């Protein structure tokens, strides 16, 4: 499924900026798998989607910490809600499990295709230690990568985006050369529209209800490009570039 309301063709961009966690990396799957492992050991039934809702709420409380270290504190809230033991070992298990989250099945291959046509730039709310692991799993496709350790803030803070805009200018480009690519309406699609960027929404949860582990936006932003997978974007780019 691919739709567009864009006035700029895919050939007009030099840079693709990417949200990583949730767009390229299946962090929700990692959270649910880790919790299922703990629940099985403890003989407790747990609903993965319900647990994601608890994580989402806990994630945005003051003092939650940066991703994925935030999984430690947020696990405490999940454990309290579902009757799981809240131990230092389980908290660290959650952090480590999400730090080792896997890419979506199409991510690495799609990034390899897109790398032939664009400079790929990561813009992640993850810390550097986790991003380095994710980048390795993706096949090291990035021309540059920005983390919360670099920007000292998280999306959707406009300061994060302006940090990247400034870097793009030093690389000889401009904001108009960027197609911002992401799954999160809240963290990426809405703010990229406010900042005058062209965007591509990768709707990873198109077959699921709700927003999972990501905060729900106050209002939906109609994207310039809309895909259900990253491979759809990669194939669209191959079509317009002729290879």
Catalytically active residues are 19
CB under 8 Å to 136, separation ≥6 — which residues? Answer: none
Contact assessment for residue 64 and residue 56, using Cβ atoms and an 8 Å cutoff: no
SS3 of 169-226: the string is HHCCCCHHHEEEEECCHHHHHHHHHHCCCEEEEECCCCCCCCCCCCCCCCCCCCCCEE
List residues bridging with 4 in a β-sheet. Answer: 225
Contact assessment for residue 241 and residue 117, using Cβ atoms and an 8 Å cutoff: yes
* 78, two tokens: 């999940």
């Amino acid at each position: 499924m691919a739709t567009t309301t864009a006035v700029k063709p895919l050939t007009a961009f030099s840079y693709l900026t990417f949200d990583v966690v949730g767009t390229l990396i299946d962090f929700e799957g990692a959270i649910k798998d880790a919790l299922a492992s703990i629940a099985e050991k403890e003989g407790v039934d747990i609903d993965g989607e319900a647990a994601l809702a608890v994580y989402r709420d806990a994630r945005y409380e003051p003092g939650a910490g940066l991703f994925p270290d935030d999984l430690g504190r947020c696990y405490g809230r999940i454990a309290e809600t579902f009757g799981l033991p809240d131990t230092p070992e389980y908290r660290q298990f959650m952090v480590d499990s999400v730090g080792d989250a896997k890419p979506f099945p199409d991510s690495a291959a799609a990034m390899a295709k897109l790398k032939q046509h664009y400079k790929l730039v990561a813009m992640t709310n993850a810390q550097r230690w986790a991003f380095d692991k994710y980048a390795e799993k993706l096949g090291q496709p990035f021309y540059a990568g920005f983390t919360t350790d670099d920007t000292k803030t998280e999306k959707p803070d406009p300061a994060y985006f302006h940090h990247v805009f400034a870097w793009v200018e030093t690389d000889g480009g401009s904001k108009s050369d960027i197609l911002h690519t992401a799954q999160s309406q809240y963290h990426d699609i809405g703010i990229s529209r406010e900042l005058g960027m062209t965007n591509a929404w990768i709707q990873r949860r198109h077959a699921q209800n709700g927003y999972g582990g990501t905060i729900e936006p106050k209002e939906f932003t109609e994207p310039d490009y809309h895909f259900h997978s990253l491979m759809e974007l990669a194939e669209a780019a191959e079509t317009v570039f002729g290879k």
